[in-house]
Structure 1
Amino acid sequence: MGPSLASLLSLPEGYRALVIGARGAIGAALLAQLQSDPRCARAIGLHRDSEPALDLRDEAAVAAAAARLAGDGPFHLIVNAAGLLHGPGLSPERKLGEFRLAALQEIFAVNTFGPALLLHHFTPLLDRRGGRMAMLSAKVGSIGDNRLGGWYSYRASKAALNMLIKTAAIELRRTHPGALLVALHPGTVSSALSAPFRGAEIGRPASTAAAELLGALDRLSPQDSGGFFSYSGEPLPW
């Protein structure tokens, strides 16, 4: 049985939370745990069919969703759990000979360009004094930890995401004193994303991963802003 979520004590009583990508396994688990926290006044989940709808490939939709939610803010916690690893006609490249520009563009659209739009349109909704914003990244996006190669598009999209987070955190220190922006690695989770890669066999339940991610986020401080961390709270190399 996985860890249960204690109240997020780093956030104020009656905090408001927003989960983007709330239809995926981890996103849905994050939303469920936040909604069950008695200290959370409201937890909203966004995805392509939510109200408001949010499609990371469509800047107008991202901007419209942020505008619709502005009156519900400021938000004390914003987590982006959306991501793309594989799909119809799309799988991680094992070698350069499998590289396709169309696949690179599709992966970057969700894993990098979409989060960049979120940083642009949703950081104004973040509480300036102590808000926390996290983007789910991946350890395979670490340049320093890359020992096996392969997975070109996915690795590159997450490495670029990490740079966006690192850079945006520098600006947020000026505009949002006391806020936190980090990249979080969720580990292997039993989900549709990981299933083709033995995720169903070696992964953890999404509920366990969600509790660990929220626990790690709760323990981080504003001084950690711009960092890259595992679900255990361990710093990861860029």
Structure 2
Amino acid sequence: MSAGTVVRSPQGEHIVLVDIGQTVVVDNDVVRVWTVQLEPGQVQPWHLHHNPYVVLSLEASPGRMDWLDGSEPRFLDEYVGGSVYRPVSPVHRLTNIGDRRYSNRLVEFKALGENRSEPLDIGPGARSVEGESAGAATTDGRVPVISHPHTTVWEVTVPAGTTVDLDLSAVPHVLSALRPVDLTEGPDGGSLFHAGGPTSIVNDTEHDARWFVVELSYLAHPATRAEESP
């Protein structure tokens, strides 16, 4: 079920599903990256995820997730710089119940979802914990935010006026600036797809820049792609 699909609530109401985010900033055979931005009180209406996905938190505000099937709501309190790896889930909507703007970048893993006959069951996924590292820092300065067999999400700081060279593995990565999305700067919204191997992040501003680095570790394991559609 994709955007525009009509589903029925337990009460018999007809619901038209929307996209899982507001703007696609990267889309290829491997990933799809969305921006999600909600002002206080704003709702991302009923939608359905077809792919396991990573959430990269850019601006934090308390949220409430409601489920179309009437299950108990889930209350969220993400933090700037946090990350979550999530499985596909039933139809739901997200409301910003705080007094600040909430925004994230959402990275869909197509090989674990829409490119298979059935989405891969990834279990509970992974969630970062504020103030805690998910492991040791790398020699190039990346600090792990979450670590899972399918993906590792790091944060790296690029000091003002410098370049940081990253010694990334050979699998693809998504690099995403840890700041609110500004599409006037370009259609990618500060996110880019990297095919793998060493790369560099240049910061030609007068302020330090923080970046997320998302490794698509699952692509190194053929078992996760065994049921890909032709």
TM beyond 0.5: no
- Larger CA Rg, structure 1 vs 2: 2
Which of the two has greater helix per residue? Answer: 1
After TM superposition, the score normalised by the length of structure 1 is: 0.29
- Return the TM-score normalized by structure 2: 0.30
Which is bigger in relative contact order (C-alpha 8 A, separation at least 6)? 1
- Greater per-residue strand proportion: 2
